[in-house]
Amino acid sequence: MATRRSHKKSRNGCTECKRRKVKCDEKRPSCFNCTRLSVLCSLRPAESLSAHTSPSVISSISPPVEGVALTTNESGPATSVDFTQLAIATDADRPLPFSSPAWGRELELMHHYSTCTYKTLALRSDMQYVWKTVIPEEGYNNPFVMHGLLALSAAHKAYLLPSERETYLSISAYHQSLGLEAFRPLLSEISKDNWKPMFCYASTVALYACLLPARLDKAKASAPIAEILELFRFVRGIQLVLQPFVEFLPMTRFSPLVQGVWIMNPCQMEECEPSLEESLLPKDIFEKLAKLRSFLQSNMPFTSIPDYEAAVSELVNATKLIGHAGLHVECGMVLFWPYVISETILNDIQALDPYALLLLSHYIVLLMVMEARFWFIKGWGIRLLADINVQLSNCQPFIDIVKWPSEQVYNLYKYQ
C-alpha cells in the first residue's frame, strides 16, 4: 500500500482540509482547497460565515426525513459539510486544467457527450433520449446543468483514454465545481418553477459521485467502506431535496427515468420470484438472501432486527427488479437502496458493525451486476469486499456467511 505524501503538519488549517486530511495553506479568508472546490471555508471571519450561511433546505422545502440532513451531524461521516460535498470532495487536490475554459474544449466535450456518453448512461432507448435531448435542453438557460453534462463527458473520456486520464479528470472536476457553485445557492429556493433544471443537475452529479473510485488518486490509500458511505449519504441528500417534486416526474418528459427503473409495481414485487435465466444475477441469490435474513433474525439484538429486516426486504425488491429486467438493467435499480434503508444501518456501517458489513456485502453483489454494464459505477465492488473481509477476518460466524458474496463478486469481476 502506497504511503501518503509527507508534508509539514498544518495545525491551524480549516475544518474541511482537516476532514479530508489534506494540507491547508491557511490562506484567509478562504484557503486554496476550499476556493477551488467552492466550499465555505472555516477560516472566513465569523460575520462572513454568517452572511454566507443560508437557511436549512430541509426546513424550507419539506419536513425532516430520518437520517438525512444537508449539514451532517457529529455521528455522520463529516461535520459542517453540506451533502453536495460528500463523495466529490476528493477533487480539491486535482489541479485546474486551465485558467478559463476554452470554447474548443467545451465543444469537444459536448460533441462527445451528444454522440457517445449519453448512450452509456442508460440501456433503454427512451431513457437515453432523456439524457441526449431533454436534459441538455434544460441546460440552455441553466448553465450549471451544462457544466454537469460536460463534467460527465470529461470523466467518460478519462475512462476511455487512460493516457490522458489526469487531464480529463481535471477538466471534469473543473466543470463539476462550476456547476456546484451555481447549484448550491438554489437548494433553498427549489420551487415548481425551477425544479426541472435542479433535477437534471442532481442527476448528473449523482452519477459523478458514483465515479469516486475512478477519480481517486491511485497513489493514495483509500477507505472503500467510508467512501461508499459517503455515496449513500449523498444519494439520500439528493433524494430529500427533490422528494417534494418526484410526484411530477411521471407527467413530464423525464418520466422514462422513473419508468425504466420501476418496471414493477409494489403488488408485483410481492409475487413470485422472477426467472434468472437471462440475468447476470447468481441463480441462488434469493436463497442466499433468505439465509442472510435468518442469520440476522437469530443473532442480532432484538431491537435492531426491524431495521435490518426492512433492509433485506429492499434488497429482495432490488433483486426482483434486476431479475425481471434481464439483460436490460438500469443503475437506478440498485441506487435506490441507500435512501430506503434506515439511518441506523448507515451509522452501523460507519462503526464497522459486523452485521451491517454482512448486509453491505450482499448489496455489493447487486452493485457488481451494474459494474458489468455501466462504466461510471466501476471500481466499487472488489475494493469493498476486500475491505469487508479484512474487517470480518476475526469474526468466524460472519466469515462463513460472507463467503458467498465474496465468491460472487470475484466471479463477476473476472468477466468484466
Confidence of residue 319 (pLDDT cuts 50, 70, 90): very high
Span 29-68, pLDDT tens digits: 677 666 555 456 677 654 333 333 333 322 322 333 333 3
Of the two residues 24 and 323, the one the predictor is more confident about is 323
Of the two residues 320 and 42, the one the predictor is more confident about is 320
Mean pLDDT of 135-164: 96
Confidence of residue 368 (pLDDT cuts 50, 70, 90): very high
Half-sphere exposure of 103 (CA within 13 A, CB side): 0
Q: How far apart are CA 338 and CA 234, in angstroms?
A: 9
* Sequence-distant (≥ 6) Cβ neighbours of residue 153 within 8 angstroms: 109, 110, 112, 113, 117
What pLDDT, on the 0 to 100 scale, is given for residue 293? 96
Model's pTM, two decimal places?
Answer: 0.76
Confidence of residue 327 (pLDDT cuts 50, 70, 90): confident
The residue to which cell 461510471 is assigned: 376
The residue to which cell 437506478 is assigned: 332
Strand segments (E) across 124-245: none
Exposure pattern of 402-412 as b/e (b: 16+ CB <10 Å)?
bebbbebbeeb
Structural domains in the chain plus CATH codes? 8-53 (4.10.240.10), 89-259 (no CATH), 266-414 (no CATH)
Residues of the chain with pLDDT > 90: what percent?
A: 54
* Sequence-distant (≥ 6) Cβ neighbours of residue 5 within 8 angstroms: none
Q: DSSP letter for 133, please.
A: I
What pLDDT, on the 0 to 100 scale, is given for residue 324? 87
Confidence of residue 86 (pLDDT cuts 50, 70, 90): low
Residues 75, 211, 201, 262, Cα dihedral to 10°: -90
Averaged pLDDT score across all residues of the chain: 81
